[in-house]
Amino acid sequence: MAKTNRWFIVLGALIIQLCLGAIYSWSVFVNPLKTLYGFTTTQTQIIFSVALATFAIVMVFAGRWQDKAGPRKVAIVGGLLLGAGYVLARFAGGDFLKIVLSIGVIGGAGIGFGYVCPIAALIKWFPDKRGFITGIAVAGFGGGAWIFAKLAEKLIASLGLIATFFILGIIFGVAVVVGALILRNPPEGWKPKGWKEAKKTDNKAIKKDYTWQEMIKTPQFWMLWLMYTFGAAAGLMVIGNLKPFGIFSGMTPVVAGSAVGILALFNAAGRITWGTLSDKLGRTRSMFLMFLLQGLMMLYLMNMGKTALMLAIAAAWVGFNFGGNFALFPSATADFFGTKNLGVNYGFVFTSYGVAGIVGPILGGKVFDITGSYLFAFIPAGIACLLAGLIALATKKPKE
């Protein structure tokens, strides 16, 4: 396959990730669910958290399957499940458990099957631009949140919540399958013309391809896992509660909704920027800077809802640094443990995201339901991010 064709694979990856990233627009559904069905803030976050946890758990199995069967079949299954989850929510009749099952479990499983395929394929096609291409691959996930937040708000306003679920489900099912048909792995042993492995410290590709059984016995795996948990929990707490936090702080629903879109755009930009930066600075140095910046904002976040500008800055800041996780951690997994088993290996690293998806949004919702404020959720999240930065400084490539 000609060298230029590898950029066509990027197109398929972006189509898939745009649709999968719609889950990050969840906060636009929070108030409609509370108004229409009387859900509590905690209940709305449970749906979001179940989707994220299912996403992370299923990705372990999806990664193992795609390592054997290639990315196309696995991504097609993901698209069909994601679409079915939202379509079924159309018929849930406001039943909380049915929406948890449809969007949370079925839709979340669809994201899990679809997500790992573009990342694993592109890292194999672009060993010369590993951080950058991972950032591009997952930028679609962040960008999809902005697109579908805007689309969902317009659909809810004009057609209602139920019809919106159905329309989104059809879009997801069709688009992800189209993107999946474009995906494929490069031929065995393929390398870009003239490419030589980088000589940079922790970015240098490791010669040994670890199995997942070998990987989980290394301290590096658990250090990556903890950092990912802390960083993702902080970001997901804000994503799941951003619009209601903005309204609570005195902003109009329109201004608060705009902050969701801003977060999504900077989420996408952060994935590309941090991925590209890590090719130059190294993964762990980039992680340290990212966690430091995120931790400082989380500690000050309660003061950032006073004006529309401050809320926009906070949304951009949190989204930018949160997005970096999704470029740095798959690249670091490939750097540390090889690319042969990247699908299943990154699936195990990504289980941390499932834990974060439960802890972050539900903690934010529960703290608000109990105290009427988000303060005692944001402060612990900020401390966790700073701790993740310290772990990053101590993380080195495993010795073969």
| Sequence letter at residue 325 | N
Query: What does the alpha-carbon distance between residue 366 and residue 244 come to, in Å, rounded to a whole number?
Result: 13
One-letter amino acid identity for 260?
V
175: pLDDT strictly greater than 80: yes
Q: Which residue has the higher pLDDT, 327 or 289?
A: 289
**pLDDT tens digits, residue range 118-168?**
988 888 888 888 778 888 877 887 788 888 988 999 999 999 999 999 999
- Distance between start and end Cα atoms, the chain: 33
**Secondary element (H or E) of residue 231:** helix 219-248
Tell me the pLDDT tens digit for each residue of 253-266: 888 888 888 888 89
Q: Which of 328, 349, 244 is nearest to 284 (CA)?
A: 328
Provide the CATH number for the domain around residue 70.
1.20.1250.20
Number of H helices, E strands in the chain: 16, 0
**DSSP letter at 206?**
P
| Mean pLDDT on 239-250 | 86
Give domain status of residue 162, yes or no: yes
**CA angle centred on 124, ends 12 and 263, rounded to 5°:** 55
Collapsing DSSP states into helix, strand and coil, what is residue 372? coil
In a domain, 289, yes or no: yes
Using the 8-state DSSP alphabet, how is residue 344 labeled? H
Write down the pLDDT at residue 197. 61
In a domain, 194, yes or no: no
Q: State residue 137's pLDDT score.
A: 78
Select from 223, 243, 203, 238 the least CA-distant residue to 334. Answer: 203
Question: How many domains, the chain?
Answer: 1
Q: What is the mean pLDDT of residues 209-222?
A: 94
Domain of residue 381, residue span: 3-185+209-394
Does residue 263 form part of some domain? yes
Q: Any idea how long the chain is?
A: 400
Residue at 311 is within a domain: yes
Determine the Cα angle at 156 with ends 150 and 157, to 5°: 90
AA identity, residue 250: G
Place of tokens 């952060």: 270
Q: How confident is the model at residue 206 (pLDDT cuts 50, 70, 90)?
A: low
Burial of 174 (0-12, 13-18, 19+ CB in 10 A): middle
Report yes or no on 236 lying in a domain: yes
What pTM did the predictor assign? 0.76
Share of the chain above pLDDT 70, in %: 96
In a domain, 55, yes or no: yes
Which tens digit of pLDDT belongs to each residue from 70-124?
899 999 999 999 999 999 999 998 899 999 999 999 999 999 999 889 988 888 8
Mean pLDDT over residues 238-262, rounded?
Answer: 86
The pLDDT tens digits for 376-400 are: 889 999 999 999 999 999 999 887 5
Asked whether the beta carbons of 283 and 335 are under 8 A apart, the reply is: yes
Q: Is residue 191 a part of any domain in this protein?
A: no
